Amino acid sequence: MTLTIGVDVGGTKVAAGVVDVSGNVLAETRRDTPADDVAKTRDVIVEVVQQLAAGREIEAVGIGAAGWIDASRSKVLFAPNLAWRDEPLRDHVRSAVGLPAIVENDANVAAWAEFRYGAARHADDSMIMFTIGTGVGGGIVLGGELVRGAHGVAAELGHMLAVPDGHPCGCGRLGCIEQYASGSALVRFARAGARQEPQRAEGLLKLAGGDVEAITGPLVTAAAKSGDPVSTEAFAQLGKWLGMGLADMVQILDPQVLVIGGGVVDAGDLLLGPTQRSYVDALAQRGRLPVAEVRPAELGNTAGMIGAADLARRR
């Protein structure tokens, strides 16, 4: 049986797993990420690979990293939540563990996992995935291959323009869709609603101990599930913008499937309902033309390691 190891490196945790050719995770481990220390982060990655490789015949290692990766899948050019700057991660890991290795963007590896083994596994050609967490990431598959662009940094879907001169984005632009369709946006919408209409946010404010600034994404989700009007409306706003973003991608690329992943998708129909309605409304002019189905991601927290491992196998 051909086995590879996939490592999912985020700002708070390093998750790694041994993955077979069918996308099954046979063994896994997790460690905290020493995000402010380049050397320690590298060491943690090497340690989890060595732990999982012990006693197994491993073919290669794939690493999904939250950052911009160069075209050769070898170097982390920049990572907003880690200390990496032009970090030659592939060569370091390859040398330390004695196995072939690749590095890829975390949203790309999650999208590839969903294309191969998850929500888009029945698509034979194309899919687009939006990952909705603190920010908005994405991955694009066309012709059965990841779209990486000339420099390896394609599919930054969260930084498409949504509102000209809109809310400031961490990337330096104004009005990116990340500022309207992310977990951070959800919290901003809910806090604004609670300030403006506290009587309609009674349930949410109770969960937050009466402190608007204590409102978090999980609290908004919990309150919305209990029927809190302000929280439900925050999800409706997020879904409106996300649906419009999905429709824009359909107009440009016409994929077979659209997948929504990331932590916010755990809210289920609170997010998917308004997203689907916005998506359909935005494409109304296409009439009877076929359009991609919108599906929630299926692989959850394992998508990163599964996708990275499979890309390493296909290197």
Interval 118-164: pLDDT, tens? 999 999 999 999 999 889 999 999 999 999 999 999 999 999 999 99
- Is the distance from CB of 8 to CB of 16 less than 8 angstroms? yes
Domain boundaries, the chain: 3-112+302-313, 123-297
Residue 80, pLDDT > 90, answer no
Of the candidates 177, 155, 181, 172, the residue with the CA atom closest to the CA atom of residue 69: 155
User: pLDDT, tens digit, for every residue of 116-129?
Assistant: 999 999 999 999 99
Residue 34, pLDDT > 90, answer no
Q: Does 3-112+302-313 match 123-297 in CATH topology?
A: yes
Place of tokens 């015949």: 57
Give the three-state DSSP class for 156: coil
Write down the pLDDT at residue 82.
79
Q: What angle do CA 108, 111, 112 make, to 5 degrees?
A: 85
Write down the pLDDT at residue 83.
81
Residue 100, pLDDT > 80, answer yes
Residue 184, pLDDT > 90, answer yes
The per-residue pLDDT of the chain, averaged, comes to 95
Write down the pLDDT at residue 186.
97
Write down the pLDDT at residue 16.
98
| Residue 19: alpha-carbon gap to chain centroid | 20
Residue 79, pLDDT > 90, answer no
Rounded to two decimals, what is the model's pTM? 0.94
CATH topology for 3-112+302-313 is Nucleotidyltransferase; domain 5 (3.30.420)
Write down the pLDDT at residue 90.
96
Give the three-state DSSP class for 108: helix
Rounded CA-CA distance 269/234 in Å is: 13
Calculate mean pLDDT across residues 93-117. 97
Residue 192, pLDDT > 90, answer yes
Report the CATH number of the 123-297 domain.
3.30.420.40
Of the candidates 140, 135, 172, the residue with the CA atom closest to the CA atom of residue 153: 140
Buried b (16+ CB within 10 A) or exposed e, 189-208: bbbebbeeeeebbebbbebb
